Amino acid sequence: MKNLLDLSLEELQEEFKGLGLPAFRAKQIYSWVHHKLTFDFEKMSDLPKLLRSQLSERFNLRILSIKKISVSSDGTKKYLMELNDGNLIESVLLEDESGRKTICLSTQVGCPLDCTFCATGSMGFKRNLKPSEILGQVYRIAEENTDISNLVFMGMGEPFLNYDNVLKSVRILTSTAGPNFGQRKITVSTCGIPDAIRAFAREGLQVRLAVSLNSADDKVRSSLMPINRKYGLAKLMDAIKYYIKNTTRRVTLEYILLDGINDREEDLQKLIRLCQNLSVNLNLIPFNRVEKKYKPSPATAVNRFIEALSEARINVHARRRRGEDIQAACGQLAAHQ
Protein backbone atom coordinates (compact mmCIF):
# COMPACT_ATOMS: atom_id res chain seq x y z
CA MET A 1 0.00 0.00 0.00
CA LYS A 2 1.48 3.36 -1.06
CA ASN A 3 1.96 6.19 1.39
CA LEU A 4 0.18 9.15 -0.19
CA LEU A 5 2.70 11.49 1.49
CA ASP A 6 5.43 10.06 -0.76
CA LEU A 7 3.61 11.12 -3.94
CA SER A 8 3.90 14.39 -5.82
CA LEU A 9 0.70 15.96 -7.10
CA GLU A 10 1.49 14.74 -10.62
CA GLU A 11 2.02 11.19 -9.37
CA LEU A 12 -1.22 11.31 -7.41
CA GLN A 13 -3.08 12.56 -10.47
CA GLU A 14 -1.68 9.63 -12.47
CA GLU A 15 -2.82 7.23 -9.75
CA PHE A 16 -6.31 8.75 -9.87
CA LYS A 17 -6.38 8.61 -13.65
CA GLY A 18 -5.69 4.87 -13.44
CA LEU A 19 -8.61 4.56 -11.01
CA GLY A 20 -10.92 6.54 -13.29
CA LEU A 21 -11.12 9.45 -10.83
CA PRO A 22 -11.08 13.12 -11.90
CA ALA A 23 -7.86 15.13 -11.49
CA PHE A 24 -9.54 17.74 -9.30
CA ARG A 25 -10.03 15.12 -6.59
CA ALA A 26 -6.25 14.66 -6.43
CA LYS A 27 -5.82 18.40 -5.86
CA GLN A 28 -8.49 18.32 -3.16
CA ILE A 29 -6.75 15.52 -1.27
CA TYR A 30 -3.33 17.06 -1.81
CA SER A 31 -4.58 20.24 -0.16
CA TRP A 32 -6.09 18.31 2.76
CA VAL A 33 -2.78 16.56 3.40
CA HIS A 34 -0.10 19.15 2.61
CA HIS A 35 -1.96 22.36 3.40
CA LYS A 36 -4.48 21.43 6.11
CA LEU A 37 -2.23 18.71 7.61
CA THR A 38 -5.02 16.14 7.73
CA PHE A 39 -3.76 12.56 7.89
CA ASP A 40 -7.07 10.70 8.09
CA PHE A 41 -9.20 10.19 4.97
CA GLU A 42 -12.36 10.08 7.10
CA LYS A 43 -11.77 13.69 8.17
CA MET A 44 -11.71 14.96 4.57
CA SER A 45 -15.30 16.18 4.83
CA ASP A 46 -15.82 17.42 1.26
CA LEU A 47 -15.02 14.01 -0.26
CA PRO A 48 -17.78 11.49 -1.01
CA LYS A 49 -17.92 8.73 1.58
CA LEU A 50 -17.33 6.06 -1.09
CA LEU A 51 -14.19 7.83 -2.26
CA ARG A 52 -12.88 8.06 1.29
CA SER A 53 -13.39 4.32 1.62
CA GLN A 54 -11.61 3.66 -1.72
CA LEU A 55 -8.67 5.79 -0.68
CA SER A 56 -8.31 3.98 2.64
CA GLU A 57 -8.12 0.66 0.77
CA ARG A 58 -5.44 1.83 -1.67
CA PHE A 59 -3.32 4.37 0.22
CA ASN A 60 -2.13 5.14 3.72
CA LEU A 61 -1.20 8.43 5.39
CA ARG A 62 1.32 7.07 7.85
CA ILE A 63 3.39 9.82 9.40
CA LEU A 64 6.12 9.77 12.03
CA SER A 65 5.32 10.50 15.66
CA ILE A 66 6.89 12.78 18.24
CA LYS A 67 8.39 10.66 21.00
CA LYS A 68 9.95 13.42 23.12
CA ILE A 69 10.39 17.21 23.13
CA SER A 70 13.38 18.79 24.92
CA VAL A 71 13.41 22.53 25.55
CA SER A 72 16.61 24.54 25.91
CA SER A 73 17.13 27.47 28.26
CA ASP A 74 17.33 29.67 25.12
CA GLY A 75 13.95 28.42 23.83
CA THR A 76 15.30 25.98 21.24
CA LYS A 77 13.22 22.80 20.97
CA LYS A 78 14.55 19.38 19.99
CA TYR A 79 12.08 16.79 18.74
CA LEU A 80 12.87 13.10 18.99
CA MET A 81 10.83 11.50 16.21
CA GLU A 82 9.97 7.84 15.78
CA LEU A 83 9.62 6.45 12.27
CA ASN A 84 7.15 3.72 11.41
CA ASP A 85 9.91 1.08 11.47
CA GLY A 86 11.00 2.09 14.98
CA ASN A 87 14.10 4.05 13.93
CA LEU A 88 14.65 7.40 15.64
CA ILE A 89 15.69 10.78 14.23
CA GLU A 90 15.90 14.31 15.64
CA SER A 91 14.67 17.67 14.36
CA VAL A 92 15.18 21.10 15.89
CA LEU A 93 13.03 24.23 16.09
CA LEU A 94 15.04 27.44 16.43
CA GLU A 95 13.66 30.90 17.13
CA ASP A 96 15.82 34.00 16.74
CA GLU A 97 15.58 37.41 18.41
CA SER A 98 13.14 38.69 15.80
CA GLY A 99 10.77 35.76 16.35
CA ARG A 100 11.66 34.01 13.10
CA LYS A 101 11.20 30.25 13.45
CA THR A 102 13.38 27.75 11.60
CA ILE A 103 13.10 23.96 11.46
CA CYS A 104 16.35 21.99 11.12
CA LEU A 105 15.51 18.80 9.21
CA SER A 106 17.18 15.40 9.09
CA THR A 107 17.51 13.46 5.83
CA GLN A 108 19.02 10.15 6.97
CA VAL A 109 18.90 7.85 9.98
CA GLY A 110 22.47 8.40 11.13
CA CYS A 111 25.17 9.45 8.66
CA PRO A 112 27.86 7.58 6.70
CA LEU A 113 30.37 10.47 6.48
CA ASP A 114 31.80 10.22 10.01
CA CYS A 115 32.97 13.82 10.43
CA THR A 116 35.11 13.81 13.57
CA PHE A 117 33.39 16.80 15.20
CA CYS A 118 29.83 15.53 14.71
CA ALA A 119 27.87 13.23 17.03
CA THR A 120 25.57 11.95 14.26
CA GLY A 121 28.44 9.99 12.72
CA SER A 122 28.76 7.96 15.92
CA MET A 123 25.35 6.43 15.13
CA GLY A 124 26.63 4.94 11.90
CA PHE A 125 24.35 4.92 8.88
CA LYS A 126 21.06 3.01 8.86
CA ARG A 127 19.06 4.28 5.89
CA ASN A 128 17.80 7.24 3.89
CA LEU A 129 14.57 8.97 4.84
CA LYS A 130 11.61 8.81 2.46
CA PRO A 131 9.91 12.04 1.31
CA SER A 132 7.04 11.30 3.73
CA GLU A 133 9.52 11.13 6.63
CA ILE A 134 11.22 14.38 5.68
CA LEU A 135 7.86 16.12 5.22
CA GLY A 136 6.59 14.55 8.43
CA GLN A 137 9.17 16.45 10.48
CA VAL A 138 7.88 19.73 9.10
CA TYR A 139 4.22 18.84 9.49
CA ARG A 140 4.46 17.49 13.05
CA ILE A 141 6.31 20.60 14.25
CA ALA A 142 3.99 22.88 12.25
CA GLU A 143 0.94 21.39 13.99
CA GLU A 144 1.90 23.38 17.10
CA ASN A 145 3.87 26.16 15.35
CA THR A 146 1.88 27.62 12.46
CA ASP A 147 4.32 30.47 11.76
CA ILE A 148 7.38 28.58 10.50
CA SER A 149 9.44 30.93 8.33
CA ASN A 150 12.52 28.92 7.31
CA LEU A 151 13.59 25.32 6.69
CA VAL A 152 17.19 24.09 6.74
CA PHE A 153 18.29 20.62 5.70
CA MET A 154 21.12 20.58 8.25
CA GLY A 155 20.10 17.88 10.71
CA MET A 156 21.14 14.25 10.78
CA GLY A 157 22.60 12.89 7.56
CA GLU A 158 24.02 14.17 4.27
CA PRO A 159 21.17 15.51 2.09
CA PHE A 160 22.99 14.96 -1.20
CA LEU A 161 23.45 11.25 -0.45
CA ASN A 162 19.64 11.12 -0.41
CA TYR A 163 19.34 13.45 -3.38
CA ASP A 164 16.12 12.26 -5.05
CA ASN A 165 14.07 12.09 -1.85
CA VAL A 166 15.35 15.47 -0.63
CA LEU A 167 14.56 17.13 -3.96
CA LYS A 168 11.12 15.54 -4.05
CA SER A 169 10.34 16.80 -0.54
CA VAL A 170 11.53 20.30 -1.52
CA ARG A 171 9.28 20.31 -4.57
CA ILE A 172 6.28 19.17 -2.50
CA LEU A 173 6.98 21.78 0.19
CA THR A 174 7.17 24.54 -2.42
CA SER A 175 4.18 23.33 -4.44
CA THR A 176 1.44 25.96 -4.84
CA ALA A 177 -1.11 23.16 -4.42
CA GLY A 178 0.43 22.19 -1.08
CA PRO A 179 2.38 24.09 1.59
CA ASN A 180 3.54 26.72 -0.94
CA PHE A 181 6.67 27.35 1.11
CA GLY A 182 8.97 30.03 -0.32
CA GLN A 183 11.98 28.51 -2.07
CA ARG A 184 14.32 31.23 -0.83
CA LYS A 185 13.34 30.32 2.73
CA ILE A 186 14.83 26.83 2.31
CA THR A 187 18.52 25.93 2.65
CA VAL A 188 20.12 22.59 1.80
CA SER A 189 23.48 21.96 3.47
CA THR A 190 26.07 19.49 2.18
CA CYS A 191 29.49 18.29 3.26
CA GLY A 192 30.52 18.65 -0.39
CA ILE A 193 29.50 16.13 -3.07
CA PRO A 194 30.68 17.85 -6.30
CA ASP A 195 28.46 15.97 -8.78
CA ALA A 196 25.38 16.60 -6.62
CA ILE A 197 26.23 20.30 -6.28
CA ARG A 198 26.41 20.55 -10.08
CA ALA A 199 23.13 18.67 -10.45
CA PHE A 200 21.51 20.93 -7.85
CA ALA A 201 22.62 23.95 -9.88
CA ARG A 202 20.64 22.61 -12.85
CA GLU A 203 17.38 22.04 -10.95
CA GLY A 204 16.05 25.55 -11.62
CA LEU A 205 15.29 26.12 -7.95
CA GLN A 206 15.74 29.25 -5.83
CA VAL A 207 16.64 27.12 -2.80
CA ARG A 208 19.79 28.20 -0.97
CA LEU A 209 22.93 26.05 -0.85
CA ALA A 210 25.27 25.78 2.16
CA VAL A 211 28.54 23.84 2.17
CA SER A 212 30.29 22.60 5.31
CA LEU A 213 33.86 23.77 4.65
CA ASN A 214 35.66 23.88 8.03
CA SER A 215 39.12 24.28 6.53
CA ALA A 216 40.78 25.74 3.44
CA ASP A 217 43.64 23.25 3.80
CA ASP A 218 43.23 19.77 2.29
CA LYS A 219 45.21 18.00 5.02
CA VAL A 220 43.28 19.65 7.85
CA ARG A 221 39.91 19.22 6.13
CA SER A 222 40.61 15.53 5.47
CA SER A 223 41.40 15.00 9.16
CA LEU A 224 38.04 16.57 10.08
CA MET A 225 35.91 15.33 7.19
CA PRO A 226 36.89 12.00 5.57
CA ILE A 227 34.79 12.92 2.50
CA ASN A 228 37.61 15.33 1.58
CA ARG A 229 39.90 12.38 0.84
CA LYS A 230 37.57 11.49 -2.03
CA TYR A 231 36.55 14.99 -3.08
CA GLY A 232 39.37 17.40 -2.26
CA LEU A 233 39.07 21.16 -2.09
CA ALA A 234 39.95 21.67 -5.77
CA LYS A 235 37.02 19.50 -6.92
CA LEU A 236 34.70 21.01 -4.30
CA MET A 237 35.53 24.61 -5.21
CA ASP A 238 35.15 23.87 -8.93
CA ALA A 239 31.63 22.60 -8.21
CA ILE A 240 30.83 25.65 -6.06
CA LYS A 241 32.03 28.00 -8.82
CA TYR A 242 29.88 26.06 -11.30
CA TYR A 243 26.88 26.50 -9.00
CA ILE A 244 27.46 30.24 -8.59
CA LYS A 245 27.91 30.75 -12.35
CA ASN A 246 24.83 28.73 -13.30
CA THR A 247 22.46 30.05 -10.63
CA THR A 248 23.88 33.56 -9.99
CA ARG A 249 23.21 32.80 -6.32
CA ARG A 250 25.53 33.09 -3.36
CA VAL A 251 26.74 29.97 -1.56
CA THR A 252 27.02 29.88 2.22
CA LEU A 253 30.23 28.30 3.53
CA GLU A 254 29.99 26.91 7.06
CA TYR A 255 33.17 26.98 9.17
CA ILE A 256 33.21 25.41 12.65
CA LEU A 257 36.05 27.03 14.62
CA LEU A 258 38.20 24.54 16.55
CA ASP A 259 40.89 25.70 18.94
CA GLY A 260 44.38 25.06 17.55
CA ILE A 261 43.03 23.03 14.63
CA ASN A 262 41.61 25.42 12.04
CA ASP A 263 41.78 28.81 13.77
CA ARG A 264 45.49 29.58 13.34
CA GLU A 265 46.81 32.52 11.32
CA GLU A 266 47.79 30.21 8.45
CA ASP A 267 44.23 28.80 8.42
CA LEU A 268 42.82 32.32 8.26
CA GLN A 269 45.03 33.37 5.36
CA LYS A 270 44.20 30.23 3.37
CA LEU A 271 40.50 30.84 4.01
CA ILE A 272 40.78 34.42 2.76
CA ARG A 273 42.55 33.29 -0.42
CA LEU A 274 39.92 30.61 -1.00
CA CYS A 275 36.95 32.96 -0.59
CA GLN A 276 38.20 36.18 -2.16
CA ASN A 277 36.41 37.20 -5.36
CA LEU A 278 33.79 34.50 -4.82
CA SER A 279 30.08 35.17 -4.30
CA VAL A 280 29.91 33.49 -0.88
CA ASN A 281 28.71 34.15 2.64
CA LEU A 282 30.90 32.73 5.39
CA ASN A 283 29.27 31.50 8.59
CA LEU A 284 31.60 31.07 11.56
CA ILE A 285 30.07 28.44 13.85
CA PRO A 286 31.00 27.85 17.50
CA PHE A 287 32.00 24.26 18.20
CA ASN A 288 29.45 22.46 20.34
CA ARG A 289 31.14 19.83 22.44
CA VAL A 290 30.36 16.23 21.53
CA GLU A 291 33.51 14.69 23.00
CA LYS A 292 36.86 15.77 24.47
CA LYS A 293 38.96 15.72 21.30
CA TYR A 294 38.26 19.34 20.33
CA LYS A 295 37.70 22.65 22.08
CA PRO A 296 35.88 25.71 20.77
CA SER A 297 38.05 28.57 19.61
CA PRO A 298 38.43 31.44 22.10
CA ALA A 299 36.65 34.74 21.48
CA THR A 300 39.94 36.36 20.49
CA ALA A 301 40.35 33.94 17.58
CA VAL A 302 36.73 34.40 16.47
CA ASN A 303 37.12 38.19 16.51
CA ARG A 304 40.40 37.95 14.61
CA PHE A 305 38.69 35.90 11.88
CA ILE A 306 35.76 38.34 11.67
CA GLU A 307 38.03 41.39 11.40
CA ALA A 308 40.38 39.92 8.80
CA LEU A 309 37.61 38.45 6.65
CA SER A 310 35.66 41.70 6.77
CA GLU A 311 38.78 43.66 5.77
CA ALA A 312 39.15 41.27 2.82
CA ARG A 313 35.57 42.18 1.83
CA ILE A 314 34.23 38.70 2.47
CA ASN A 315 30.71 38.56 3.89
CA VAL A 316 31.12 36.96 7.31
CA HIS A 317 28.70 36.19 10.12
CA ALA A 318 29.35 34.61 13.52
CA ARG A 319 26.50 32.30 14.42
CA ARG A 320 25.20 32.23 17.99
CA ARG A 321 25.30 28.99 19.94
CA ARG A 322 21.76 27.64 20.47
CA GLY A 323 20.39 24.50 22.11
CA GLU A 324 23.73 23.20 23.38
CA ASP A 325 22.33 22.32 26.82
CA ILE A 326 19.90 19.81 25.26
CA GLN A 327 22.33 18.50 22.61
CA ALA A 328 20.36 20.26 19.87
CA ALA A 329 23.16 22.46 18.53
CA CYS A 330 25.09 22.00 15.30
CA GLY A 331 26.85 18.61 15.30
CA GLN A 332 25.13 17.27 18.42
CA LEU A 333 22.16 15.37 16.98
CA ALA A 334 22.37 11.64 17.70
CA ALA A 335 18.78 10.56 18.51
CA HIS A 336 19.32 10.20 22.25
CA GLN A 337 16.26 8.96 24.11
Annotated catalytic residue 330: yes
For residues 34 and 5, give the distance between their C-alpha atoms in angstroms, rounded to a whole number: 8
| Res 328: pLDDT | 44
Per-residue confidence (pLDDT) for residue 99, from 0 to 100: 84
Mean pLDDT of 279-308: 89
Catalytic hit among 15, 90, 266, 275: 90
Q: Is residue 262 predicted with pLDDT exceeding 70?
A: yes
Q: Quick one: pLDDT band at residue 321, thresholds 50, 70, 90? A: low
Is CATH 2.40.30.130 what the domain over 2-60 is classified as, yes or no? Answer: no
Q: Classify 260 as helix, strand or coil.
A: coil
Give the pLDDT of residue 292: 59
Quick: pLDDT tens for 137-147.
999 999 988 88
pLDDT at 138: 97
Please give the Cα distance from 190 to 200 (Å, whole number).
11
Amino acid at 242: Y
Q: Which fold has domain 65-326?
A: TIM Barrel (3.20.20)
The pLDDT value recorded for residue 324 is 53
pTM over 0.85: yes
126 vs 140: CA distance, rounded Å: 22
Is 212 in contact with 226 (CB distance < 8 Å)?
A: no
Grouping H, G, I as helix, E, B as strand and the rest as coil, residue 19 is coil
Q: What is the DSSP string of 44-83?
A: -TTS-HHHHHHHHHHEE----EEEEEEE-TTS-EEEEEE-
Compute the average pLDDT of residues 227-241: 97
> Are 310 and 277 within 8 A, CB to CB?
no
Closest CA to 257 of 248, 267, 246, 269: 267
90 catalytic per annotation? yes
Could you state, in order of their start, the residue ranges of all structural domains in the chain?
Answer: 2-60, 65-326
Q: What percent of the chain has pLDDT over 70?
A: 94
pLDDT digits (tens, 9 = 90+) for 59-118: 999 999 999 999 988 888 999 999 999 999 999 999 888 889 999 999 999 999 999 888
Residue 327 has pLDDT above 80, yes or no: no
**Amino acid in position 67:** K
Residue 326 binned pLDDT confidence (cut-offs 50, 70, 90): very low
Q: Please list, residue by residue across 265-277, b when 16 or more beta carbons sit within 10 angstroms of its beta carbon and e when fewer do.
A: eebbebbbebbee
| CA–CA separation, 319 and 285 (whole Å) | 5
| Least confident residue range of 138-147, 281-290, 325-334 | 325-334
53: confidence class by pLDDT, cuts 50, 70, 90: very high
Q: Is the pLDDT of residue 305 over 70?
A: yes
Question: Pick the catalytic residue: 104, 191, 275, 330?
Answer: 330
- Longest CA pairwise span in the chain (Å): 70
